[in-house]
């Protein structure tokens, strides 16, 4: 039985004239991935030039690709995580709707993709901040300073973004968790209930009691 893929490629709007991860490079990585899956079937390809900082619903070709994945049960295939975008909430929404594979990270689970999207967003933020700082300092002194400060801020924001992503995931089960805890079910019993119903954990696997406990803690459920 073949595994169906919908390929999506994106160029950054701001860098269309400069050096970047072009369509040729993306094609190369995608083809290397597909060669490892003999039963792979590419049913369509979409590409566009648009900023990765935008939400995915603003990108017409990506919207078409997602719709086709939903209609055919196909998996969306991109070369790198940042081709999906550099906005965490946007990528998180995509992961909740369709299956996604990353050509350069063949074994990546949804949780890994989520973490990488946090890093992609923070990278975009850091690049923007560094560019503004460089222009300002170059105008005043002709030298760039303060790189270490940017790294420290990036680490802090990364942690905040990752925590927010985990909370957003837990929110969709808030009502279930609240009800189960109110009738006295233990974390282990809730985990067992979720696993029997096929409800996947954030990392794409089965739930453990400690995972349920952490979700409840994030949602302030005793």
Q: What is the predicted pLDDT for the residue at 160?
A: 75
**Residue 79 contacts by C-beta under 8 Å, 6 or more apart in sequence?**
9, 21, 25, 26, 29, 30, 102, 103, 104
Q: What is the predicted pLDDT for the residue at 61?
A: 95
Q: What is the predicted pLDDT for the residue at 77?
A: 96
Closest CA to 42 of 51, 50, 34: 34
Domain ranges of the chain: 3-112, 118-168, 173-218
Q: What is the predicted pLDDT for the residue at 149?
A: 46
Q: What is the predicted pLDDT for the residue at 145?
A: 46
Q: What is the predicted pLDDT for the residue at 48?
A: 93
Q: What is the predicted pLDDT for the residue at 140?
A: 62
Q: What are phi and psi of 38, to 5 degrees?
A: -55, -35
Q: What is the predicted pLDDT for the residue at 115?
A: 73
Q: Return the CATH fold of 3-112.
A: Rossmann fold (3.40.50)
Could you tell me the two tokens for 214? 């952490």
**Residue 33 contacts by C-beta under 8 Å, 6 or more apart in sequence?**
77, 101, 103, 104, 106
Sign of dihedral through CA atoms 22, 28, 31, 32?
Answer: negative
Task: Going residue by residue through the chain, which has 222 residues, state the pLDDT in tens, using 9 for 90 and above.
Answer: 789 999 999 998 655 555 566 889 999 999 999 999 989 999 999 999 988 777 888 899 999 999 999 999 999 999 988 888 777 778 888 888 899 999 998 888 767 776 766 666 656 556 556 555 555 655 565 554 455 445 555 566 666 777 787 888 888 888 888 888 888 889 999 888 888 888 888 777 888 888 888 888 888 888
Q: What is the predicted pLDDT for the residue at 70?
A: 94
The reply to whether the predicted model has a pTM over 0.75 is no
Q: What is the predicted pLDDT for the residue at 82?
A: 83
Q: What is the predicted pLDDT for the residue at 144?
A: 46
């Amino acid at each position: 039985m073949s595994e169906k893929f919908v390929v999506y490629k994106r160029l950054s709007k701001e860098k269309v004239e400069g050096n970047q991860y072009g369509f040729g490079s993306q094609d190369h990585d995608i083809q290397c991935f597909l060669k490892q899956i003999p039963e792979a079937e590419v049913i369509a390809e979409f590409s566009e030039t648009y900023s990765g900082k935008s939400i995915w619903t603003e990108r017409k070709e990506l919207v078409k690709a997602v719709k086709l994945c939903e209609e055919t049960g196909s998996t969306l295939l991109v070369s790198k995580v940042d081709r999906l975008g550099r906005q965490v909430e946007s990528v998180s929404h995509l992961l909740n709707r369709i299956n996604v594979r990353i050509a350069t990270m063949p074994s990546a689970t949804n949780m890994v993709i989520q973490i990488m999207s946090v890093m992609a967003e923070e990278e975009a933020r850091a690049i923007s901040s560094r560019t503004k700082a460089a222009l300002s300092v170059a105008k005043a002194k002709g030298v760039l300073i303060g790189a270490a400060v940017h790294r420290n801020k990036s680490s802090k924001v990364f942690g905040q973004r990752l925590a927010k992503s985990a909370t957003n995931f837990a929110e969709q089960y808030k009502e279930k968790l609240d009800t189960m805890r109110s009738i006295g079910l233990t974390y282990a019993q809730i985990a067992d209930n979720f696993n029997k119903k096929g409800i996947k954990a954030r990392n794409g696997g089965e739930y453990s009691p400690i995972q349920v406990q952490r979700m409840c803690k994030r949602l302030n459920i005793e």
